[in-house]
Structure 1
Amino acid sequence: MTVTVGTSTVDPRTGGDGPVPVVRGYRFEMVKLFAQWRIRLLLLACWIAPAGFVAGVSGQSTLPVDTLFGRWMHATGWAGPLVMLGFAGTWALPLLTSLVAGDVFAVEDRLGTWRHLLVAVRSPRRIFAAKTLASVSVVLLLVAGLAVSSAVGGVLAVGNRPLVGLDGHLLTPGDAAGRVLLAWVCVLAPTLALAGIGLLGSVALGRSPVGLLLPALVALAMQLAQLLPLPVAARLALPGYAFIAWNGLFTAPTQLRPLLIGVLVSLAWAVTATALAYRLFLRRDFTGSGQDGIGRRGLTLGVLPLAGLAAVTVVALTALTGATGSGIEQDRVQRSVATAFAHLYRVQTRELNRPDVTEAQLRTTAACTKGAGSRAAEGPGNDWRCVVSWRLPGVEATGTAIYQLDVAADGRYMADGDGPKEVNGYFLVRTPAGDAPNPLWQFDGNVELLPTCEGKDQCR
């Protein structure tokens, strides 16, 4: 079927002579997006609200200690953007991609303007490219606003100070700034994966609200999956894992393997979902008066390849990494707790103005059990108990401290001090300058879920 424009005839599927360049189509789509009050409001909120939030929370007496790096918002301005990053990965970014990418094609269905747009551009392929590039550009602007605003708010409110890493080691302000920036860059990959899913839903379901909310629903499903005791390979095969894998940037040495896998998996999902949306878009019949997406059958055709991609990824990761089970094992928990305690003990030593010691001099070890000790010490749970031991130079006695651990399925844990009081039993320590937060009272840590190799022949 053809559409007549003046004295020329144009086929909306194949296009006519002289289709509009993608650059002009991109500019037109950007103008259309910024003409929407919803997009303008989102941009304003993303570039202003995080700064006010971080500055306001940093000035409160009560901090969000249940959020990663929340307990350090009083100490450094670089903790604020990381708290915001955790919130963004859970809620903000899925909703933003839904409102932008999930609506970029559906808006034409609501307004009934497809035939006019096809006549003007004369190329469905260039329309898809322009709309995709425009929606991705807006999403990137929103993410940039969240990152820049939260960082500026934190540094202005608290200062450019060192940051305590996830394993207790101290990061200089410059190093902290670079890792915070890299963490925000890494979450662009899962954000693009959700954007690709949004494009797919917008093409397949048209004006249906399900198409608009598809990225948020998929993100919620992936978050629920991360809470389950899934095998490590299945956890890494979901693009949502990259929203939390940036934690490994703040350990020493950095846990890069899970992060790189998460980024690559997310990019694979982004490319696959976008390619499926492109294929379905070219199959649409834009000439019918009641045209509204291609229906649930089209969405099914798009979902099945993504499910197949997830299955293939699980098999490949299992073979390549050798990861089995939950990845949370006794020796890994013990190493993580001992390392974090040694680093934080040095922080406490500086606070109390005591002679400095090194981690090697402390010779810190941890003995951890789970539950009543009648079952294997592995897997997530809030029933982990660790006894940390260390030695001071020139002191014969061995120091011990007890911690109760709540280990999440993704490997993150919170250690709560359970005595002795002078080490970790109270949340304040008395320093020469007055009372200060006790770094050993509670701390966050991260268990490396993938097997690591020490030496030439030993992998664990």
Structure 2
Amino acid sequence: MTGAGSARPAGGRRVPVGRCYRFELVKSFSQWRIRLLVPLCWIAPGVFVAAVSRQSTLPADTLFGRWMHATGWAGPLVLLGFAGSWGLPLLTSVVAGDVFAAEDRLGTWRHLLVAVRSPRRIFAAKALAGLTVLLLLVAGLACSSAVGGIAAVGDRPLVGLDGHLLTASDAAGRVLLAWLCALAPTLALAGIGLLGSVALGRSPTGLLLPALAALTMQLAQMLPLPVAVRLALPGYAFISWNGLFTAPTQLTPLLIAVAVSLVWAVTATGLAYLLFLRRDFTNPAESGPGRRGAAVAILPPAALLAATTVLLSTTTGAAGSGIGQGKVERALATEFAHLYRMQTAQLHRPDVTETRLRASAACSKGGERFAGAGPGNDWRCVVSWHLPDVDAVGTAVYQLDITPDGRFVADGDGPKEVNGYFLVHTPHGDAPNPLWQFDGSVELLHTTPKG
């Protein structure tokens, strides 16, 4: 195969990267798809969040969805959960998956090389232009959803995934940080898009590659995989931001997920760059590296996944699903104590601290008496607590549905005075019962004290 350097015309001065970058930006924004996506990403999320926040029925099956009536900061988190699953992979496919393939379809490579005189500058300009457009779209999703939520509900405190209350300013900072962390897997998908666009040429598969990769990783996260394999997938960063909303924050899985995503982004972009430089631009029939290039594009990421899995297994000591009886009991007891105090404030009862409440939980999976482990919807827990100057021990029953990524939904199963009803009767009228049903998170890695 003739290298790209052989197609470089003799003489003449190469066009600077900055000028190429501006030219690629103009080309990007001249496409009807980008012109449609920019206003859509900056307007539609705010309208959606504001509309849903005012509905009587909330998306309770979505993380933070049940709190969209209570605070405007729940809306951008609900949208982030949806964007990580579908929105950002599709945007990445449209922006990065067609950057190089479009030139193959139009047959404009030779004209572009004559004008720019450097394949390296062409690659850099296209990659930077695609990154700029992608960042603009992601910023629109985050800003628009936050504005829509605040406008519809207000700048109010947010209930975290362990039941503790985040102040409005703290919630705003963590929402911003969650969206910033989601940029890492987005960049990984963008690198995969560049790689597919270079390796597959005119094939429409290159355009769909980021979305297909994201779907595959999403399906993998739904399987009972070992923790090390789960963390080695770049898509885990779309989930691990949940750890920002617990106290203490679960930073270790999040930092690992972000680092893995950035390594994938650099690796995929580097492979795309190397394949691009090997293109034979003097042959009009050439439309990409072909099967050999596709193999080169597949093998290094597969090796990276295997190496990352082994590295994480040895350095973190992660084994199995990461979901065990002790972790479930600690997470549930901690969250119940926080939410019990919230219910106490709603009913204007005497306040009690978590220390004096001494909440604990006893859980079993599938009716087994021995220690349970792993995800499933067959977890049953009994929470116990103590009130000052009361001899009797309070108890409440919860059915837990724990997903493989550690998220759980606790559904109250009595007594009715505590968690048996959706609403509680307060002096100011009926209000949602925080103990009836709530979301929580089990830490998959041993990174926080057990106390």
**Code of the aligned partner of 2:25:** M
**Code of the aligned partner of 1:44:** P
Match of 1:155 among 147, 150, 154: 150
Q: Give the structure 2 partner of residue 5 of structure 1.
A: none
Match of 1:48 among 43, 47, 59: 43
Does the 8 A contact of 2:105 with 2:202 survive in 1? Answer: yes
Q: Give the structure 2 partner of residue 267 of structure 1.
A: 262
Q: Give the structure 1 partner of residue 303 of structure 2.
A: 308
Distance in 2, matches of 1:157 and 1:48, equals 14
Secondary structure at the aligned position of 1:387 is classed as strand
Match of 1:205 among 192, 200, 220: 200
Match of 1:331 among 326, 330, 338: 326
Distance in 1, matches of 2:443 and 2:430, equals 34
Q: Give the structure 2 partner of residue 140 of structure 1.
A: 135
Distance in 2, matches of 1:396 and 1:452, equals 36
Match of 2:228 among 228, 233, 243: 233
Q: Map Cα deviations across residues 48-83 of structure 1 (whole Å, 9 max, x no partner).
A: 000010001001100000000000000000000000
**Pair 1:446-2:451 in alignment:** no
Q: Give the structure 2 partner of residue 224 of structure 1.
A: 219
Q: Pick closer, same or farther for the CA change 1:11–1:452 going to 2, 3 Å.
A: closer
Q: Give the structure 2 partner of residue 7 of structure 1.
A: none
**Pair 1:251-2:246 in alignment:** yes
Q: Map Cα deviations across residues 256-300 of structure 1 (whole Å, 9 max, x no partner).
A: 000000000000000000000000000001111212121132121
Match of 1:75 among 70, 73, 82: 70
Q: Give the structure 1 partner of residue 186 of structure 2.
A: 191
Q: Give the structure 2 partner of residue 36 of structure 1.
A: 31
Q: Give the structure 1 partner of residue 168 of structure 2.
A: 173
Distance in 1, matches of 2:218 and 2:316, equals 23
Q: Map Cα deviations across residues 358-409 of structure 1 (whole Å, 9 max, x no partner).
A: 1111000000000021664000000000000000111111100000000000
Distance in 2, matches of 1:111 and 1:100, equals 17
Unaligned stretches of 5+ residues in structure 2:
none
Does the 8 A contact of 2:400 with 2:410 survive in 1? Answer: yes
Q: Map Cα deviations across residues 156-198 of structure 1 (whole Å, 9 max, x no partner).
A: 0000000000110000000000000000000000000000000
Does the 8 A contact of 2:250 with 2:448 survive in 1? Answer: no
Show the 5 A alignment for 1:121-132. 121-132=116-127
Distance in 2, matches of 1:76 and 1:394, equals 35
Distance in 2, matches of 1:392 and 1:218, equals 51
Secondary structure at the aligned position of 2:380 is classed as strand
The structural deviation recorded for 1:153 is 0.1
**Pair 1:379-2:380 in alignment:** no
Q: Map Cα deviations across residues 119-141 of structure 1 (whole Å, 9 max, x no partner).
A: 00000000000000000110000
Does the 8 A contact of 2:188 with 2:262 survive in 1? Answer: yes
Match of 1:415 among 404, 410, 417: 410
Match of 1:21 among 12, 16, 24: 16
The structural deviation recorded for 1:15 is 6.8
Q: Give the structure 1 partner of residue 287 of structure 2.
A: 292
The structural deviation recorded for 1:341 is 0.3
Distance in 1, matches of 2:10 and 2:347, equals 75
Does the 8 A contact of 2:90 with 2:211 survive in 1? Answer: yes
Distance in 1, matches of 2:448 and 2:172, equals 30
Q: Give the structure 2 partner of residue 6 of structure 1.
A: none
Secondary structure at the aligned position of 1:187 is classed as helix
**Alignment coverage as a number of residue pairs:** 449
Moved beyond 3 Å, runs of 4+: 13-17, 452-455
Secondary structure at the aligned position of 2:248 is classed as coil
Unaligned stretches of 5+ residues in structure 1:
3-9
The structural deviation recorded for 1:451 is 1.9
Distance in 1, matches of 2:161 and 2:283, equals 57
The RMSD of aligned alpha carbons is 1.5
Does the 8 A contact of 1:12 with 1:123 survive in 2? Answer: no
**Code of the aligned partner of 1:239:** P
The structural deviation recorded for 1:16 is 4.5
**Code of the aligned partner of 2:213:** V
Secondary structure at the aligned position of 1:300 is classed as helix
**Pair 1:347-2:346 in alignment:** no
Show the 5 A alignment for 1:367-406. 367-373=362-368, 376-406=371-401
Q: Map Cα deviations across residues 93-142 of structure 1 (whole Å, 9 max, x no partner).
A: 00000000000111101111000000000000000000000001100000
Distance in 1, matches of 2:447 and 2:229, equals 18
Does the 8 A contact of 1:200 with 1:276 survive in 2? Answer: yes
Does the 8 A contact of 1:417 with 1:424 survive in 2? Answer: yes
My pick for the range that moved more, 226-235 or 287-296, is 287-296
**Code of the aligned partner of 2:49:** V
Does the 8 A contact of 1:203 with 1:277 survive in 2? Answer: yes
**Code of the aligned partner of 1:367:** A
Does the 8 A contact of 2:248 with 2:448 survive in 1? Answer: no
The structural deviation recorded for 1:11 is 4.7
TM-score normalised by the chain length of structure 1: 0.96
